Amino acid sequence: MPRFDIPARIIEQPQLAHGIFLLTVKAPAILDSANPGQFCMLEVKYNNSSDPLLRRPLSIYKTRANGQISFLYKEVGKGTRLLSKRRPGEIVRVLGPLGQGFRLIDDRPQCILVGGGLGIAPLLLLAERINQSGKLIILIGAGNASEIPTIEDFSGLTRYFHIATEDGSLGQRGMVTDLLAQTLREITGMAQIYTCGPWPMMKAVYYMARKKNIPCQVSLEAAMACGIGLCLGCAVPKSDSQGFLHVCREGPVFDADQVNWEYSQ
């Protein structure tokens, strides 16, 4: 699969909520090759500085026909803080698309997407793709309403759209896994689950899916230096304890039963 390391011009970067940004760049070559669940490595050093040296991995959130790609991210450290200060018209180098994305399963008429917080970032492209061919159920959870500022991107894709917040500020009070438990009690027939979010949430989703014999794909997050499988720093143990999975090269999307969920991140 082709990948490109290109200078991309920033189109816009609004702050959607406290510490949450939506960066849009012009990168038609990357857009033409991108699949749901893939990511890019973005250069964050600024004004000819070499610090931070390493790029930051960001999931591809949204694409537009005019060659624009958007990344939804949260400011969590120096790199993302510097990135958040970049302005329209400036150039940021982008390497991508990288990794293995979600796999669509043709014989699964019901697809359930479970996102926790900014774990929704790799799920929008997938939701748009599924919406063209089958029944789409979207479940989103967060601590409070401010942590999921882009719900309108998802809500128009399906009438089977539900939200849970821990403080009850939006949707049902509780966890997104509560929504999943309700959904699994109600559905009949074959299904497929796709999920991304905090490790404990995905672990719970996996065990719920396994109990119902429903296949589950997970998009993992990991600290990584290169994004192309050279540094081997983004390793998580395999479920059979026979080695490791490397999130950047073999993932970030895996069948959930490949992962050792008892590993503590």
Question: Mean pLDDT, to the nearest integer, of 39-54?
Answer: 82
Question: Mean pLDDT, to the nearest integer, of 84-94?
Answer: 96
Question: Mean pLDDT, to the nearest integer, of 51-73?
Answer: 93
For residue 264, the model assigns a pLDDT of 64
Least confident of 18-27, 81-90, 225-234: 225-234
Domain boundaries of the chain, sorted by first residue: 4-98, 110-258
Cα–Cα distance list, 35 to 2, 99, 108 (Å): 12, 10, 19
Fold match between domain 4-98 and domain 110-258: no
pTM score of the predicted model: 0.95
For residue 228, the model assigns a pLDDT of 81
Mean of all residue pLDDT scores within the chain: 93
Burial class (CB in 10 A: 0-12, 13-18, 19+), 192: buried
What CATH class is the domain 4-98? mainly beta
Give me the CATH topology for the region 110-258: Rossmann fold (3.40.50)
Flag whether pLDDT at 77 surpasses 70.
yes
Residue 155's H or E segment, with its range, is: helix 151-155
Radius of gyration of the chain (CA): 18
Question: Mean pLDDT, to the nearest integer, of 193-209?
Answer: 97
Least confident of 20-34, 76-90, 96-110, 145-159: 96-110
